Amino acid sequence: MKILIIAEHKNGTLTETTRELFGLSLGESEVHAVVHGGNVGSLTDQLGHLGANKVHLINSPSVKNHTGEVLQQTIVQLIQQLNPDTVLAIHSPLGKDLAPRLAATLDGNLATDCIQFTLDNNNLHVRRPVYSGKATAQVEFVDECLKIITMRPRSVRPPEPDLSRSAEVIEFTVELSEQKTTLKEVIASGGERPDVTEAAIIVTGGRSLGSAENFSIIENFADLIGAAVGSSRAAVDAGYRPYRDQVGQTGKVVSPQIYIACGVSGAIQHLAGMRTSKHIVAINTDPDAPIFQVAEYGIVGDLFEIVPLLTEAVKKRNDN
Ligand SMILES: Cc1cc2nc3c(=O)[nH]c(=O)nc-3n(C[C@H](O)[C@H](O)[C@H](O)COP(=O)(O)OP(=O)(O)OC[C@H]3O[C@@H](n4cnc5c(N)ncnc54)[C@H](O)[C@@H]3O)c2cc1C
């Protein structure tokens, strides 16, 4: 099977989620990767170490700060030339935008937000959550058309890089037709903390924090353990956190190693965004809060007491 992986990068480094795509069981597949943007040449070694046989380098300024339309045209041209069986992307903002465009343009089979990928003797099937994560569906591909799959971040572990491996690098030049949209400006959202979709640990606060200032309790704890700060929609609607931190059905879908929910009730729409987390910890004053039904560890108590205690405990451990 010929597989094309859409690689994403930030500030000259492959994203952790891109590295995860190489952790899928790809069998004896011929693995291609495409990396696009300005000055991306240094990423080809990293992709080779992860297991790419060939890297298609689109080192053009026109795809550095691209619109969805530019990337669609670019990747469509590459796919038409390469003719892969499967395209793999991360279920990131880029992947969510690109994958349906590819499927529509190339009449491909699309499966998004998958949490399991099984390749068995060239038979491919995936699993994806449905009904806000209450069930998972197995998707099989019944014809030979191009398969386009986006994987939920943190569904698999990235492999250790093998420094003895390298990829053949192929420069790919695109010819872009007239665009219907142009990108005017990119405004960085700022902040040093990891994004919730990329973090291994997330500490989330809910409406019960009561104010934007009180979120400093959550931030202090998160910073000490290298976590991202998440938020329920109620806390976002109340203006305590920016929308980019919202976890859930109408926010971001996350799957970290550890998810610590502080004063979050666990409404179905919140669970839809975090129930595939590996270990869920909940702190809530209400022992009947629905969040405890999905939590592996639960603390019934006041977050304004518990979170500072945990912060102190981590500080002490770090000092020792
Ligand atoms: C179409 C739709 C989409 C939605 N999408 C989302 C989404 O993407 N994400 C999302 O989060 N929600 C979403 N919601 C909203 C969702 O239904 C809930 O209203 C929301 O998740 C509740 O947020 P919360 O848990 O912070 O607040 P609450 O429901 O008010 O819960 C607060 C919790 O904190 C506990 N608590 C109170 N004080 C303390 C304390 N001192 N210490 C510890 N615990 C305390 C309470 O016992 C309670 O369980 C959506 C709703 C709809 C209708």
- Nearest CA-CA partner of 205 in 192, 197, 214: 214
Q: Give me the pLDDT at residue 82, please.
A: 97
Q: Which atom of ligand 1 lies at the shortest distance from residue 231's CA?
A: 11
Residues 91-100 pLDDT 10s? 998 999 999 9
Q: Give me the pLDDT at residue 38, please.
A: 74
| Nearest protein CA to atom 38 of ligand 1, as residue | 208
Question: How far from 63 is each of 27, 39, 58, 99, 275, CA to CA, in Å?
Answer: 31, 11, 8, 17, 35
Residue owning tokens 């930030």: 10
What is 208-219 written as a DSSP string?
GG-STGGGHHHH
Lowest mean pLDDT among 87-91, 136-140, 195-199: 195-199
Interval 71-97 mean pLDDT: 96
- In order of start, what are the domains of the chain with their CATH numbers? 2-171 (3.40.50.620), 201-319 (3.40.50.1220)
Residues 150-203 pLDDT 10s? 999 888 989 999 999 999 999 999 888 888 888 888 887 767 788 898 899 999
Distance CA 141, CA 119 (A): 12
Q: Give me the pLDDT at residue 11, please.
A: 76
For ligand 1, is residue 217 a contact (CB within 6 Å)? no
- Nearest CA-CA partner of 63 in 36, 35, 34: 36
For ligand 1, is residue 233 a contact (CB within 6 Å)? yes
Q: How confident is the model at residue 312 (pLDDT cuts 50, 70, 90)?
A: very high
| pLDDT higher than threshold 90 for residue 63 | no
Distance CA 241, CA 206 (A): 10
- How far does residue 263's CA lie from ligand 1's centre (Å)? 8
pLDDT over 90, % of the chain: 77
Distance CA 7, CA 36 (A): 8
Q: Give me the pLDDT at residue 190, please.
A: 66
| Nearest protein CA to atom 29 of ligand 1, as residue | 265
| Better-scored residue on pLDDT, 122 or 113 | 113
- How far does residue 268's CA lie from ligand 1's centre (Å)? 9
- Nearest CA-CA partner of 240 in 248, 252, 232: 232
- How far does residue 215's CA lie from ligand 1's centre (Å)? 15
Contact assessment for residue 175 and residue 166, using Cβ atoms and an 8 Å cutoff: no
Residues 282-299 pLDDT 10s? 999 999 999 999 999 999
| Nearest protein CA to atom 34 of ligand 1, as residue | 263
Q: How confident is the model at residue 307 (pLDDT cuts 50, 70, 90)?
A: very high
Interval 128-143 mean pLDDT: 91
| Nearest protein CA to atom 31 of ligand 1, as residue | 265
* Cα-trace Rg, the chain: 21
- How far does residue 158's CA lie from ligand 1's centre (Å)? 33
Lowest mean pLDDT among 66-75, 174-183, 215-224: 174-183
Q: Which atom of ligand 1 lies at the shortest distance from residue 232's CA?
A: 11
Q: Give me the pLDDT at residue 10, please.
A: 84
Interval 204-232 mean pLDDT: 97
Tell me the residue type at 102. L
| Better-scored residue on pLDDT, 134 or 251 | 251
Q: 190 Cβ partners below 8 Å, 6+ apart?
A: none
What is 173-189 written as a DSSP string?
-------S---------
pLDDT over 70, % of the chain: 99
Q: Which of 269, 274, 293, 304 has the most ligand 1 atoms within 8 A of CB, as the residue to mutate?
A: 269
| Nearest protein CA to atom 8 of ligand 1, as residue | 248
For ligand 1, is residue 307 a contact (CB within 6 Å)? no
- How far does residue 241's CA lie from ligand 1's centre (Å)? 13
Q: What's the per-residue H, E or C state across 290-309?
A: CHHHHCCEEEECCHHHHHHH
DSSP-derived letter for residue 239 is T
Q: How confident is the model at residue 143 (pLDDT cuts 50, 70, 90)?
A: confident
Question: How far from 170 is each of 30, 34, 165, 258, CA to CA, in Å?
Answer: 15, 9, 16, 39
- How far does residue 318's CA lie from ligand 1's centre (Å)? 32
3-state class of 88 per DSSP?
Answer: strand
Distance CA 212, CA 199 (A): 22
- How far does residue 23's CA lie from ligand 1's centre (Å)? 34
Interval 47-67 mean pLDDT: 87
DSSP-derived letter for residue 70 is H
| Nearest protein CA to atom 41 of ligand 1, as residue | 302
For ligand 1, is residue 234 a contact (CB within 6 Å)? yes
Contact assessment for residue 39 and residue 10, using Cβ atoms and an 8 Å cutoff: no
Q: Give me the pLDDT at residue 136, please.
A: 94
Tell me the residue type at 26. L
Q: Which of 203, 249, 302, 303 has the most ligand 1 atoms within 8 A of CB, as the residue to mutate?
A: 249
Residue owning tokens 């492959």: 14
Task: Please state, as a whole number, how many other Cβ atoms lie within 10 Å of the Cβ of residue 41.
Answer: 14
Q: 154 is written with which tokens?
A: 């943190």
On average, the pLDDT of the chain sits at 93
| pLDDT higher than threshold 70 for residue 109 | yes
